[in-house]
């Protein structure tokens, strides 16, 4: 992979604050969230693997989402914890590249996976009697693999382009991880083609999955409206309510950061919002998919 200016051997992550007291508070907060993320996602994966009642396409996708969130939190949070309590705020050039590559790949993969889950809910509600045939495990595995391939192919493209720049301005990243926008601010050279690439990746990895999700839910709503009983409508809606919450929280934070005009960028605000989809969202997902789910609660009682 061609690199840019090799005189930059490391970057400095400023994090959230330079106040020692606040850094300790943030360390405790992020540590608690990290422990909850690991415990919640690991427990959900164990439940889905061990309980035969959860061996369905829907829980297959939820299990893969938990695995993805667990991996994603491990890309970000350990480095955040070290930055909070250590005087050394540096990250090597190779470490920054690796963090950027995996974070982009996993984020893009999650976009595709949430779209695949929307299609799964559409099949479950519109074709309940043919659900097991229409949404087979083989098809589910194909959609998951395609999500990973699409995510990491696009991540390879944006990583190669980003780290081919010369970082001649500075090596200080005003953020808590190696993110796209802070790195671009440090890069030198012409960026017109890079901006076009960013818009292409935004449309292919975010806008396209959102369009697929909206299309799926339009068909879902049309199907629900044809159900005569109120109880039947509520039951049908409850099967996709958790997914709707996930989609709203995840895509909302991503669109807020990456779809705004450059003139409205605010690093402090972006830090808070990016914390949500990098740290908070992986912690919330196990709760979103288990609190109102009788099957998961039953599997949890059985496990203990």
Q: Which residue has the tokens 């299609």?
A: 119
Average pLDDT over residues 70-97: 88
276: its two tokens:
């949500």
More confident residue, 190 or 280: 280
Q: State which CATH number among 1.20.1070.10, 3.60.15.10, 2.30.30.240, 3.40.50.2000 fits the domain covering 10-303.
A: 1.20.1070.10
Domain segments of the chain: what residues? 10-303
**pLDDT tens digits along 190-233:** 666 777 887 788 788 888 899 999 999 999 888 888 887 777 78
Q: Is the Cβ–Cβ distance between 29 and 80 less than 8 Å? A: no
- Global confidence as pTM: 0.88
- Compute the distance between CA of residue 154 and CA of residue 292 in angstroms, rounded to an integer: 35
Mean per-residue pLDDT of the chain = 84
More confident residue, 231 or 259: 231
* Residue 292 confidence (pLDDT): 65
**Following CA atoms 81, 85, 91, 96 in sequence, which dihedral angle do they give, to the nearest 10 degrees?**
20
303: its two tokens:
């496990």
């Amino acid at each position: 992979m061609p690199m840019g200016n090799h005189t930059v051997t490391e970057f400095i992550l400023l994090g959230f604050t330079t106040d020692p007291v606040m850094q300790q508070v943030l360390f405790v907060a992020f540590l608690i969230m990290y422990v909850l993320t690991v415990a919640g996602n690991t427990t959900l994966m164990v439940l889905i693997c061990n309980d035969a009642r959860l061996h369905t396409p829907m829980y297959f996708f939820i299990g893969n989402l938990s695995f993805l969130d667990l991996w994603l939190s491990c890309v970000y949070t350990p480095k955040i914890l070290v930055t909070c309590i250590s005087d050394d705020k540096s990250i090597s050039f190779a470490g920054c590249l690796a963090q950027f590559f995996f974070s982009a790949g996993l984020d893009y993969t999650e976009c595709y996976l949430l779209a695949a889950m929307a299609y799964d809910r559409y099949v479950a509600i519109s074709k309940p009697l043919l659900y097991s045939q229409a949404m087979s495990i083989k098809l589910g595995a194909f959609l998951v693999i395609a999500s990973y391939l699409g995510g990491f192919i696009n991540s390879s493209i944006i990583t190669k382009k980003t780290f081919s720049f010369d970082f001649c301005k500075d090596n200080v990243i005003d953020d808590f991880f190696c993110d796209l926008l802070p790195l671009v601010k440090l890069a030198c050279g012409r960026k017109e083609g890079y901006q076009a690439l960013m818009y292409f990746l935004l449309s292919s990895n975010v806008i396209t999955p959102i369009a697929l999700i909206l299309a799926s839910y339009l068909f879902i709503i049309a199907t629900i409206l044809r159900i005569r009983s109120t109880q039947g409508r509520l039951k049908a809606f409850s099967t996709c309510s958790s997914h709707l919450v996930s989609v709203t929280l995840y895509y909302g934070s991503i669109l807020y950061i990456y779809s705004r005009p450059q003139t409205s960028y605010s690093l402090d605000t972006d830090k808070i919002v990016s914390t949500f989809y990098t740290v908070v969202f992986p912690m919330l997902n196990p709760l979103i998919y288990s609190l109102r789910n009788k099957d998961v609660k039953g599997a949890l009682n059985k496990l203990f």
